[in-house]
Every structure is written in structure tokens, then in C-alpha cells.
A = this chain, B = another copy of it.
Amino acid sequence: MKIAFLLYRGFTALDIVGPFDVLSRLPGADAVFVAKQVGPYGNDNDRLSIVARSSLQEVARPDVVVVPGGTAGTREAAEDGEILAWLRQAHETTTWTTSVCTGSLVLAGAGLLTGLEATTHWAAQGELQRRGAIYRSERWVQQGKIVTAAGVSAGIDMALFLAGQIAGDTAAQSIQLGLEYDPSPPYHSGSPAKASEDVLAAVGSVFR
């Protein structure tokens, strides 16, 4: 089972590493980071680089695709002909085509979400709708073999769901236990509905 994790300049690291650390532990998983060219790709604040070990051409028929979000780089990826052509072709034979956060804008750019329900980072819902999808405020949304997750950390929840679909509940739960994913955040501001006015006002200055 070839699982392709798409990289492009400006991806958000946790968007892709959360699902990676879940899905790459499935029995029989062959996880690979892919990009237009082999080599290191910097994240959204360019403080971290993950290496693409294979080119898109080399992984033309993955079983699972995971597309991360990000900031400006994601909007470029969503209009990059080579990435979009690869996604469309890969999607013809995948068992699962997935995105995390604004990665759904890239799927939409490839025309894969037109008229479908999908989710994205809460702040990008209008953008997703303008690209032809029907926004849903859920942790993840499944439409056939397409699964889109909400912002950043939602990729972990989505990946555990996928792990269960692919390998069964016990395997997914074992991965959850291995990752000690028993969340206990010290604050409860993870969604616009739960955050205070102060926090909603401040978030724009933290996420530049």
C-alpha cells in the first residue's frame, strides 16, 4: 500500500506529519514523501525542511494520497498545473484521496471537490466554497473515497479514522495507543466557537 504524502514549498508541517505518523505504521504501508522534484521543501514559516524522496512522476499510482495545507504556498500549489495533473491522475486509481487543512483547496483546484461536501481550516471556508465545494464544519468529511480534514491537528483524527477503514479498529486503536493520543490540551480554544473574542482577534497576528 503506497501512501504518498505531497510536499510543496510552504506546507504546514503538522498537517502532514500527523497523518504520516499514523498511516506509516499500518501493516504493509509504504509511505513516501513526494514533490515535483526530489529534495528538501521548506514549511510555511521556512524553519523546517522535509525531504521529498521521490518525484511525482516516480509515484504515479499511489493507493493513498495525503495533501497538506499551508499559507501562500498552498494557493500556489492549488494553481500548479503539474501538481493538479498528478492529483487528477492519481485519484483515478487511489483507494483514498485525502487532505488536511487548506490542502482541500488543492484538491478543489484539481476539480476533485466540485459539488461535494468537504472541510478545511475554519478561516478558509469561504475560499473553499468559492472553489466549488460545499463547506462543512466537521473534524473530517468523507465523500466516497475522498476525505478532507479541518485545520492542522484535525489530520491526526482523520488519519485514525482512515487507519480504521483500511486495517480495522484494533489496528487503528493500537496506533492511537502507540502515539499516546489521549489529548489533554491546557486550553480550550481550538475552534472559533470555543475561543474568546480576544483570542479570535489575536490569531491573525500569530499566524502571519
Contact = CB atoms under 8 A, between A and B. Distances in A.
A154 interface: yes
30 contacts: A18-B18, A20-B47, A21-B152, A25-B45, A31-B47, A32-B47, A33-B47, A49-B51, A50-B50, A121-B180, A139-B182, A152-B178, A152-B181, A153-B181, A153-B182, A153-B183, A154-B182, A157-B184, A164-B186, A169-B187, A174-B189, A175-B206, A176-B185, A176-B189, A177-B189, A177-B203, A178-B207, A182-B191, A182-B194, A183-B185
Interface string A148-183: 001111101100110010000111111111111111
A20 B13 contact: yes
Interface of A: 12-14, 17-18, 20-21, 24-27, 31-33, 40, 45, 47-51, 53, 101, 121-122, 139, 150-154, 156-157, 160-161, 164, 169-192, 194-196, 198-200, 202-203, 205-207
A181 B178 CA distance: 20
Contact of A160 (B26, B186, B206): B186
B180 A191 contact: yes
A202 B171 contact: yes
B179 A196 contact: no
